Amino acid sequence: MFPFSVPFSFAHAARRVAAGNALATKNLPANLAFAATASTADVLYRLHAHTHGLNREAVLFAREDHGRNELTAAQTAQLRRFAGRSLTMQRLLGMTAASFTQRLASATCHVKRSFSGEKPARAAELVVGDIVRVSSGDFVPADLRLIEATDDLLVDQSVLAGERSVQKKDAERLEEVPANAAACTDLAFAGTTVASGSAWGVVVAVGAETLLARAAGCNATEPAAAAVPAARAVPQLI
């Protein structure tokens, strides 16, 4: 009865997948491109971080410089719309767009700080420069540059790709500036899920500056790419 309905349906679905593939988008933000290609030592230095974790003063500085790892109500609604456009959200991730944003907001991880050691923390407490550990089944709570990873580390990036996408990750820096986020095997992005293995990483982007939030348009009123912070001496006293 409607001979064009099926072809149109497939074409419409294909457009939705292509539009939702944040991993394939070019023009990777400057801070993520730097994190992917710099050595671990250089990344930590530029973020005023250390493998034993930030001290109290550094946490306050980072929160002032980069903001909190959370979204406003309007940004959360924007993210929910983006997640809802993913053809795989319910089928592959096993959750609706609403439950995805709720789980992301309440995600937990282990954070290491010089004044408190390693302990569980809510994602909203994280700041740029924090050292965090994620394991199988965890939501990645922020954009991370991996600094240690098990050999079996796999990350499910379906929410960013708009289709099934599980990638092997490691802590080896890239030799060349990546064309897009899909090539960033040493980065783990907020909202993705650790499918197997575990890793330590340093937080390189939080809140509206994460790749997921950018893809959803949550930072539409902000500059297109976050600049790498200038070096600033911050005492790291244990």
CATH number of 28-215: 2.70.150.10
What does each C-alpha distance from 196 to 136, 142, 204 come to in angstroms? Answer: 5, 18, 22
- Per DSSP, the three-state class of 83 is helix
Which of 102, 98, 109, 165 lies closest to 137, judged by CA?
Answer: 109
Residue 143 CA to its chain's centroid (Å): 3
What does each C-alpha distance from 151 to 189, 199, 206 come to in angstroms? Answer: 18, 10, 26
CA distance 91 to 234: 46
| Lowest mean per-residue pLDDT among 60-69, 93-102, 108-117 | 93-102
Tens digits of per-residue pLDDT, 40-92? 999 999 999 999 999 999 999 999 999 999 999 999 999 888 887 765 555 55
Residues sharing a CB contact under 8 Å with residue 7, sequence separation 6 or more, in sequence order:
none
Is the per-residue pLDDT at 118 higher than 90? Answer: yes
What percent of the chain has a predicted confidence (pLDDT) above 70? 80
Which of 131, 171, 135 lies closest to 155, judged by CA?
Answer: 135
Give phi and psi for 79, each to the nearest 5. Answer: -65, -40
Q: What is the CA radius of gyration of the chain?
A: 18
Tens digits of per-residue pLDDT, 190-229? 999 999 999 999 999 999 999 999 999 997 654 333 333 4
Which residues are registered as beta bridge partners of 119? 111
CA distance 110 to 140: 11
CB-based burial of residue 235 (10 Å sphere; 0-12 exposed, 13-18 middle, 19+ buried)?
Answer: exposed
CA distance 186 to 118: 22
Q: What's the pLDDT at 91?
A: 59
Higher pLDDT, 85 or 173: 173
Tens digits of per-residue pLDDT, 122-154? 999 999 999 999 999 999 999 999 999 999 999
Which residues are registered as beta bridge partners of 167? 155
CA distance 209 to 203: 11
